[in-house]
Structure 1
Amino acid sequence: MIQRAALLRSRLVQSLQLCPVSSQLGSRYCYTSNAASSLQQVQEPSIYSGDEYADVDWDNLGFGLMPTDYMYTMTSSKDGHFAKGQLSPFGDIKMSPSAGVLNYGQGLFEGTKAYRKENGNILLFRPDQNAIRMKIGAERMCMPSPSIDQFIDAVKQTALANKRWVPPPGKGTLYMRPLLMGTGPILGVAPAPEYTFLIYASPVGNYFKEGFAPLNLLVEDDYARASRGGAGGVKAISNYAPVFNAMKRAKGRGYSDALYLDSANKKNLEEASSCNIFVIKGNLISTPATNGTILPGITRRSIIEIARDSGYKVEERDIPVDELVGADEVFCTGTAVVVAPVGSITYKDKRIEFKVGAQSVSRQLYSTLVGIQMGHIEDTKGWTIEIN
C-alpha cells in the first residue's frame, strides 16, 4: 500500500479531453475541450456562454449550496473500470432504493477549489492529491475508483463548465465536491455491483460564520470522531453525520465547533469536525499524526511544507490536551476553512486563549498558502494547474 501510494503521488496529468457517453443516469450533454481553448459544447450552445459572471452578490458570499450550471458524472462497468465521463445540467440523479450508498454508506467525497486569477484564468490546487486520497479511501471502502488522469480531467471540466460561477479574485472560490458512490442495487451486506463518480460545484465564501475572526472551540469529551481500526483516516461519508450532535451542542453554547480527543484514552487532540488542528509553541509547530483516525488533509500537508520552508520545526505526533495551556497559537486547516486562527479552546469549563492577529504565525502561513492558490506568489512546487 505504501509503495502504491508513493507511485500515485508521483503522477500528475494535465491533459483535458472529454467524449460523449451514456450512463445509467441517462443521456447527457457532452463537451470537448483542452487546456488551451475554451469549453466547446458538442450539441446545443450554452445559454450562459456569453456571461462573464453569474448574477451573484459576490461581496456577501457565504458557505452554502448555490447550484451552478453543470455537473460531471462517470459510471463504472461491472469489472470496476470507469468509462469516459460527461457533463450535464446540474440536477437530481436517479438511484435505486437499494443502492449501496443508501443502505450501507458505501461512499466517499472530496473537496477541492478553483480560484480566479487577475487575468481571468482559473487555478486548481493540487487536484492530484485529492485523486490519490480518493483511491486510498476507495480501497478501504472496497470500491473501484477513477484513475488519477480521469479525476483531474473531471475537475478541470467541471471548473471550466462553471467558469462564470468562479468568484472574482479575492471574493471567494468555486468549491467542487467529487463524490464516489455505490449506486448499484444490493440487499445483502456486500459491496455494490456498480459505482458512480460525480462532481458538482458551488461558489463559496468563508466556511465559518466568524469569517476571518478567531474561532472558539469546545473540547468534546463525550463523543469521539473516530476510533482505531475504523474509517476515520479516509474521507468516508459515514464519518460526518456522527459529529452533528457534538457540533450542535458546541454551537448551541456559542462555540464555533467541537474539538475531538482520541477515543481510547480521551487525552490526545485529534481534529475538529471538518478540519485538522495545529499547535504552536515558539518555533515548534505540532499537529496530530495521521495514524488512521485523523484525515490526512491536503491543506494540512501543504501548510506543513510551507512552515518547514519558512524555518519552523514541524512535528506530527500525539498532542496531549494538557499541552494547550502552554501553547502560543492554535489554528485549523482544511479545504473549506483554509487556515483559521483559534482564539480560545474551552476544556472542562476552563478557557485557554491564544495569540491571534496580523503578526501571528498562522496569518503568515495563510498568506503564503493563499498567495500560491491565487497566483500572487510563484508556485515553485508544481501545486497549481492553470486553465482557461
Structure 2
Amino acid sequence: MSDIDWDSLTFSLTKTDWMYMVKCNLGDAWTPGKIMPYGTFEIDPAAGVLNYGQGIFEGMKAHRTINDRVVIFRAEENARRFQSGADRLGMPPVPESIFLDAVEQVVAANKKWVPPAGKGAMYIRPLLLGTGPIMGVAPAPEYTFIVFVTPVGPYFKGGLSCIDLIITDEYHRAAPGGSGGVKAIGNYAPGMMPSKNAKKEGFAEVIYLDAENHKYIEEVGAANFFCVKNNVIYTPELTGTILPGITRDSVIQLARSYEYEVIEEKVSAEFAMDADEAFCCGTAAVISPIGSIQHGDKKKVYSNGDIGPITQKLYDSISGIHSEKVEDSFGWLHEVDLNLNLEK
C-alpha cells in the first residue's frame, strides 16, 4: 500500500480490512468459517470468556522475504499448541487444517498490509473464546474462533539493542499444576502491574522466579529465558509452568545445529547472574539481548552491556530465515498463496 508509512510502524495495533470467524457448539465438530470485514461483534454478558476467562490465543508472524514471497514461520506448531491449550481449558480444539487455512486466508485477504522486507511483519492473532452464556463454573455452550492481523514494525527500532531486567521476589507468573504452560488469556493481565512497576524503575521487563522454591528463573514477562556460560546454552526446562515457546524451540534447534550444547534444566537466578550472556525470546521481539539483570542489591552486566556473540548469531540466523537471507534448512517456512479463493 503506497499510502502506508512503513518506516513509522511500531509494535502496536493497526486495524486491517478482513478477519476470520466461525462458531461451534460444545459437543459439535468444527466446520470452516468465513472471511468477514474486520470489526466488532456481539457477545452475551454471561459469556464464559467474560465471566470465567475461558479463552486462549496465539501469536504468529507472516514475513515478506527478499524473494518477495510472503511466508509464515512454523504455523503448524502454533496450531498444535492452540489445540493443547483448548484441551487444558475445556474447549473444543480447532483442527489443525481449519486453523492453518484460517490463518492463510486472513493473511491473503490482507496482503496489502504485509510490510516490505526489512520493514516489519504481519502479526497474526488467532483467538478461541467461550462466547456462549453460562452461569456457574463450567464449559461454555458455544465457542468462537477468530483470526485477525495487524502490520507491526521491527521490535527494535534502529537495530538490535540490549534490555535491562529486574528479578521480582514478590510476584510469580504461574504455579505447578496451573495453566502457566498454555496461552490462556488469564495468564497475562496479572503480569501487567509488575511490568508497569519495573518500567517505572527504568527496567524493560520483570523476570519471574518459580513459585515453589523462589530461586529458579521461569520467564521474562511473556518471553522465554536463556543464558550462556562457557559456550554452553542453558534454558529453564518445561515443567508445566513455562510456556513452550515456538521461538524457544527454534533457538534450541538452531543452536544444536551449530554444535552448541543446549541444556534444559532448572536455572537458578544465582547461576544466571554468573553467566557470560543472557537473552530472552518470543514471537514479538524474536530475540532480545539482556544487557543487565538486577536482583535485590546485586546487578549483573553481560558482555559489558553489549550483545554477546552467541546471542547475535542466533538472532541473525532466525531473522535471516524469516527474510530468506538464510537458507531454511529446517523447513520452517510456509509460503502463503496470495491468490487464494477466499470464503466470504
Relative to the length of structure 2, the TM-score reads 0.95
Equivalent positions of 1:51-62 (< 5 A) are: 53=1, 55-62=3-10
Aligned counterpart, 1:363: 312
Aligned counterpart, 1:350: 298
Aligned counterpart, 2:325: 376
Tell me which of 248, 267, 288 is aligned to 1:319: 267
Equivalent positions of 1:1-388 (< 5 A) are: 53=1, 55-207=3-155, 212-355=160-303, 357=306, 360-387=309-336, 388=338
Partner Cα distance (1:385, 1:99) in 2: 35
Change (3 A) 1:272 1:124: same
1:15-68 Cα deviation digits (max 9, x unpaired): xxxxxxxxxxxxxxxxxxxxxxxxxxxxxxxxxxxxxx2632211221110001
Contact 1:54 1:164 in 2 (8 A): no
The Cα shift of 1:120 comes to 2.6
Contact 2:291 2:306 in 1 (8 A): no
Partner Cα distance (1:184, 1:359) in 2: 49
Contact 1:208 1:256 in 2 (8 A): no
Secondary structure of 1:247's counterpart equals helix
Change (3 A) 1:340 1:254: same
Stretches (4+) displaced over 4 A: 208-211, 356-359
> What amino acid sits opposite 1:277 in the alignment?
F
Partner Cα distance (1:359, 1:300) in 2: 18
Which blocks of at least 5 consecutive residues in structure 1 are unaligned? 1-52
Partner Cα distance (1:207, 1:263) in 2: 30
> What amino acid sits opposite 1:375 in the alignment?
E
Partner Cα distance (2:331, 2:207) in 1: 33
* More divergent stretch after superposition (377-386 vs 326-335): 377-386
Contact 1:54 1:165 in 2 (8 A): no
Secondary structure of 1:76's counterpart equals strand
> What amino acid sits opposite 1:369 in the alignment?
I
Secondary structure of 1:175's counterpart equals strand
Partner Cα distance (1:260, 1:313) in 2: 25
Partner Cα distance (2:44, 2:158) in 1: 40
Aligned counterpart, 1:37: none
Secondary structure of 1:213's counterpart equals coil
Which blocks of at least 5 consecutive residues in structure 2 are unaligned? 339-344
Partner Cα distance (1:84, 1:97) in 2: 26
The Cα shift of 1:207 comes to 3.7
Contact 2:289 2:307 in 1 (8 A): no
Aligned residues: 336
Secondary structure of 2:25's counterpart equals coil
Change (3 A) 1:136 1:126: same
The Cα shift of 1:306 comes to 0.1
> What amino acid sits opposite 2:313 in the alignment?
Q
Change (3 A) 1:358 1:351: closer
Change (3 A) 1:101 1:120: same
1:223-255 Cα deviation digits (max 9, x unpaired): 100000110000000000001111011001010
Change (3 A) 1:343 1:364: same
Q: Which has the higher contact order (CA 8 A, sep 6+)?
A: 2
The Cα shift of 1:117 comes to 1.7
Contact 1:357 1:363 in 2 (8 A): no
* More divergent stretch after superposition (53-62 vs 217-226): 53-62
